[in-house]
Structure 1
Amino acid sequence: MNAGLKSDSDKLESRRLNWGLPLGFLVVTSWATVHIYSVFFHALSAPLWQTLGLIALQCWLYTGMFIIAHDTMHGSFAPNRPKVNAVLGTGIMFIYAGFSWKSMRAAHHAHHDNSGRDGDPDFNLDNPHQFWPWYVKFFTHYFGWKQLAVLLGFTLAYIFIFGANYLNTIVMWAVPAILSSIQLFYFGTYLTHRHAGEFADHHNARTNSYPRWLSLLTCFHFGYHHEHHLFPHEPWWRLPCRKFEKNAS
């Protein structure tokens, strides 16, 4: 019996690894391709729908990049491979906004330990209802002078070393990056942790009531947030299964 359970567990870990790595590779390479094209080759004189489409696509892929880095903090991107998780997470966090993966990981685990109460760095204890005051607190907590310096360095390198157009750098890089932070916060933190009714348990988290396709588009299934707090070592692409299992029980 124990051998059978161990075999099933090993199969699950293998399946996670087999899907996690290619999905992560797909998201990261897609973001890099769209980002490079948007900043260096897209003409802002093109039809507006093309520019808006590239901004929206890059914003969504930025969100996916962050969710993958989030999974590396839990070790769920590459189970039993801590170095892979650390290296990939460090790279993505630095590219995303000059963040320190170790600092972000410590803050995220503090969020899990104190979800929705004092000691939670992602929670606005003074204003747990309104979006913008909460977002401003959230943004200023994580984004400081170091991040500004890193992004300024990237900007100068893009323009003066690689020859990017200044306006393209702002419109096709800064805009989708900022929008992705709002997207992540709104669907993954604000809606799931705001004080709007009772919570199911001490995790102080709820799940957005979206169909699976919309959950993917909004926040790479991070809106299945109660499931994430119940099963923090599940990767993002497994959270819909956990929601189904919870509802079935």
Structure 2
Amino acid sequence: MKYKGLFFAICIISLWGISLAYLLNYPIDFYNPLVYVFMLLQMQLYTGVFITAHDAIHGVVAPHNKKLNYAIGFLCATLFAYNNYEKLSKKHHLHHKNVVSDEDPDYYDGNFFRWYLKFALEYVTFWQILLMAITYNLLKLVFPMENLIVFWEVPAILSTLQLFYFGTYLPHRGEHEANDIYKSRSQKLNHFMAFISCYFFGYHHEHHAYPYLPWWKLAEAKEKEELKVLKN
């Protein structure tokens, strides 16, 4: 399907936008389990927005149209807390080129919390914080503060933790085999858990081996790698 990347991008962005618009007016009752279900759903959609920006960096959202691919990547990066798409692209390519080294902007030889802090400081800027604060205060004039916090701010923060834990920390922490040029490990073969955890980016060795594959093709790549292991 020639436009499959574009189709998934439109679906994710649309679902994120529609659900957020609905939830910002949703009556919040903290004894209602649906509140937490919707918050986690919004987190998952936020992660999908970032994954779409990531795939645009690799040129696979709209490979048939570079300008459209860039526009979608720029939009998704902006929707994800006003991230700078150019900065994300530059640093992500450095990550692939210098994985698990001093030149890798995503790597830190330390514990989870220090690594996460370093990871956040690598990308978050004063202007992002300012723009988020302005947006929050403008939205507060229209929507309830509780809704903004529960369905907009908290899912965004949880999404950064999700992306970091499954897409950076678990794959790259600790020692790697000497012959592993990608210095990346993958979670066990389980497509349901791989999708729920981080849109198949738990299959991280496959992503580094085949960075030109969009997120939905990583499952197939993982299956092929497993078959190679079984044959050997």
Taking structure 2 as the reference length, what is the TM-score of the superposition? 0.94
2:160 is matched by which residue type in structure 1?
S
Give the match for residue 247 of structure 1.
226
Matches within 5 A, 1:31-180: 31-39=16-24, 41-45=25-29, 47-125=31-109, 127=110, 130-160=111-141, 163-180=142-159
Structure 2 alignment gaps of length 5 or more = none
CA drift at 1:177: 0.4
- 27, 37, 40: which is aligned to 2:12? 27
Contact preservation (8 Å) 2:176, 2:184: no
Identity of aligned residues (%): 34
Query: Over residues 106-161 of structure 1, what are the superposed CA-to-partner deviations in whole Å (9 max), with x where a residue is unaligned?
Result: 00000001001111000003x1xx2111111101111121110111121122112x
CA 195–32 in structure 1, closer or farther in 2 if over 3 Å, else same: same
Question: Per-residue deviation at 1:65?
Answer: 0.9
Matched residue count = 228
Aligned AA (1:221):
F
Distance in 2 between residues matched to 1:42 and 1:59, nearest whole Å:
16
Deviation of 1:18 after TM superposition, in Å, equals 2.8
Structure 2 vs 1, CA of residues 196 and 34 (structure 1 numbering), >3 Å: closer, same or farther?
farther
Moved more, 211-220 or 190-199: 190-199
Unaligned runs of 5+ in 1: 1-14
Q: CA RMSD of the aligned region, Å? A: 1.4
- Structure 2 residue aligned with 1:202, among 156, 175, 181? 181
* Superposition deviation, residue 196 in structure 1: 4.7
Q: Which aligned pairs between 1:194-233 and structure 2 lie closer than 5 A? A: 194-196=173-175, 198=177, 201-233=180-212
> In 1, are the aligned partners of 2:20 and 2:42 still within 8 Å (CA)?
yes
Using the alignment, how far apart are the partners of 2:209 and 2:181 within structure 1?
A: 10
- 1:48, distance to aligned residue in structure 2 (A): 2.5
Off by >6 Å, runs of 4+ in structure 1: none
Give 2:151's aligned amino acid.
Answer: M
TM-score, structure 1 as length reference: 0.88
Change (3 A) 1:204 1:154: same
